[in-house]
Amino acid sequence: MSLLNKIFTGILCGALISTNGLAADDCSKLQYKQEHPDRCQYASTSTNTSTYLMIGAGVAAAGAALVALAGGNSGGSSSGGSDAGAQSYARSIMPTSIMRANVGNDISVAQLESTISSNQYDRNATQYDEIQLAYSLARGYTGVGTKIAVFDTALGTSAKHAEYVMDTITPVAPGATIEHHSIAYNTNDFMPYDEIGTIVAETNGANIYNNSWNTPQAANTIRNRNQLVKLTSQNFVDAISNAATQKDAIFVWAAGNDSNIQSGMLSAMPNVMPELNGHFVNVVAWDSNTSALAEYSNACGVTQNYCITAPGTISMSNGRTKRGTSFAAPVVSAAIAVIREAWNYLPSETITQILFDTAADLGEAGVDEIYGHGMLDLEAATRPVGAQTIAISDTISQPLATARVSASIAHNIKSSKPTMAFFDQYGRDFETSVADNISAQNRGLGFERMRGENTRAKFEFGDMEFGFYRNDMLLGSGFLATDGDTTTSYIGTNKSYSFGSIELFGHTQIGVARPQASNESVISSFSNIYTASAYIGVRGNDWSLSVGMPDTIVNGNMQLHLASGRDSAGKITYNDYKIDMASTPAIEYMANWNFMTAGFVDNPYGKNEFYVFAKTKLAF
């Protein structure tokens, strides 16, 4: 046997090698209870663990240590020389209903029903519901294109620990590639840390490293890097460090099954290796039956700032149920694969921060020593978090807010069905329809009529007139903002025919405008915009009636420069859309009497408009 052959014997096959006279099938004994949490779920946790299921004496050779699988039917010792690790402790209860804002508002009931209807989901429905897995699957996130390295026992052993760990990953990230690395000669014979370090160092392609094993020594006993090196090996520590700093790897580590208030020693590595911060997630196990930390699971303890909770009871594809932090860890590894797939440009530090920030709080408010950041939440982790912005350019952005444009322009934009990306507080891109983020507003023809000739500068030659005027026809706000009112140059004709005191009149006009987009707008440019209007009416001495077509765009377009997402390097990408602005005209009916004007506008796209105003001059 190697120097590391000081591990739990018969852990995964359900057999117990009795040491110091402990009998098999005795849940009153901590040793057996921690090996078999599924059989002894509610047994007491308090006992002395100085001889806890270790075969042989302590290891004295350099580079060797005690190693324990962290899976179901496994365990480890408490912190050496102290009874603190064997103490039972209160576990906070998860609320029956965790309040989450804006949960799944982009997912239809039909999508969710389709997702949860599979046998694979139904097998662990309670656990998957606790991490809100249905939402990430319904959003299409499966971990495709990612690779998870599983460091575990050899495949094909009777215990099948590695197979069960890999089986746990698949339902959460069915598209991920799983790469197995054996770090044990067989179930009971782990390699020395020096050899494990070489295996870690030679791992390429994967950047998620799942480790469902730990040591029985408690995390709070590790004080510095040199101590860690002595307990493991320099090669092991260097390999872990290099994978994080050079390969941007994220290590997911099982906290261990010692019913300890501290996680296992290896979970404490970031505390003495600061380069691992942002590259390391420690995982404790949740018991769905008791709605608390699983009785067998170690708590986060000194790892609380990079610790998260996940379900530790998983029903396997062969019908067997496994319990342990061994199976909580791969759930988190799979969740990381899902985030890496969706936003493959994110560095590890951002991915782990998303996991922690979006976790559903458990126990004491905020980060605590039992649950760390709380329960893994794949719904919250795969939807936008915090302030949402849109990119105008690589250097200009603005908050995502509803843009207001004229009803005809809004109609034409919606008809073109452009999409755009927006970004959350982590810089992640999400797709949205432009149509869902614009609001149609009427031009306000009543105000234009009230301003009347004050907006025009014109020259008349008989029946002809030409000039220019300003109106709100092309005015936009928000990410479709234009640069103020648009000036239109026009030429028109005025005709009138008198019949006694009655006058028939007509007015036609064509115009051209070149609006300017705001610097904080996704509108990159306008072509020349051609407009037309026509009215006919009748008037007497103090009154008039008319009907006609107000200014209507008959030709022209605008160009939209819309962010479409990010490439694999994180650079924002863009798509350009050409929007035809020609529109169906409104019909306006007007009546005037003395200084009173009333009108009704039948708009083909926006709301109809009715206005009344009085306009006169006072002379002194």
Beta-carbon contacts of residue 329 (< 8 Å; ≥ 6 apart): 70, 165, 210, 211, 212, 252, 253, 254, 283, 310
CA distance 471 to 299: 67
Give the CA distances from residue 295 to residues 36, 88, 211, 367, in Å, rounded to whole numbers and listed in that order: 11, 9, 21, 20
CA distance 282 to 274: 15
CA distance 216 to 213: 10
The amino acid sitting at 130 is: E
Task: Give the rounded percent of residues in the chain with a pLDDT score beyond 90.
Answer: 65
- For residues 217 and 79, the answer to whether their CB atoms sit within 8 Å is yes
CA distance 338 to 382: 8
User: Would residue 237 be called left, alpha or beta, if left means φ above 0 and alpha means ψ between -120 and 50 degrees?
Assistant: alpha
CA distance 334 to 171: 9
The DSSP result for 421-479, as a single string, is: EEE-TT--EEEEEGGGGEEEE---HHHHHHHGGGGEEEEEETTEEEEEEEESTT---GG
Q: Which pLDDT score is estimated for 102? A: 58
Cα angle: 602, vertex 605, 606; to 5 degrees: 75
CA distance 194 to 419: 52
Q: What share of the chain is helix, strand, coil (3-state, %, to 5)?
A: 25, 30, 45
Exposure string over 65-97, b if 16+ CB within 10 A, otherwise e: bbbbbbbbbbbbbbbeeeeebbeeeebeebeee
Give the CA distances from residue 582 to residues 291, 471, 527, 585, in Å, rounded to whole numbers and listed in that order: 61, 17, 12, 9
**Three-class SS state of 534:** strand
For residue 533, how many other CB atoms are within 10 A of its CB? 18
CA distance 127 to 315: 10
Q: Which pLDDT score is estimated for 473? A: 75
CA distance 225 to 246: 19
Taking the domains of the chain in order of start, what are their residue ranges?
109-381, 391-614
Of 264, 283, 269, the closest CA to residue 52 belongs to 264
Cα angle: 536, vertex 537, 539; to 5 degrees: 150
Q: Which pLDDT score is estimated for 137? A: 96
Q: Which pLDDT score is estimated for 484? A: 67
Q: Which pLDDT score is estimated for 605? A: 86
- Helix H, strand E, coil C: the string for 110-141 is HHHHHHHCCHHHHHCHHHHHHCCHHHHHHCCC
CATH class of the domain defined by 109-381:
alpha beta
CA distance 259 to 370: 11
CA distance 468 to 569: 49
Cβ burial, residue 20 (10 Å; 0-12/13-18/19+):
exposed
CA distance 520 to 517: 8
Q: Tokens 């994978």 appear where?
A: 243
Beta bridge partners of 421: 431
Of 118, 167, 178, 173, the closest CA to residue 381 belongs to 173
Number of helices (H), then strands (E), in the chain:
15, 31
Q: Which residues of the chain have pLDDT under 50?
A: 1-25, 27-65, 73-99
Cβ burial, residue 254 (10 Å; 0-12/13-18/19+):
buried
Mean pLDDT of all residues belonging to the chain: 83
Cα angle: 86, vertex 13, 39; to 5 degrees: 50
Angle between helices 325-342 and 161-172 (to 10 degrees): 40
For 427-454, write each residue's pLDDT tens digit. 999 999 999 999 988 777 777 777 766 6
CA distance 282 to 527: 58
Whether the model pTM is above 0.85: no
CA distance 231 to 82: 18
For residue 49, how many other CB atoms are within 10 A of its CB? 24
Q: Which pLDDT score is estimated for 453? A: 61
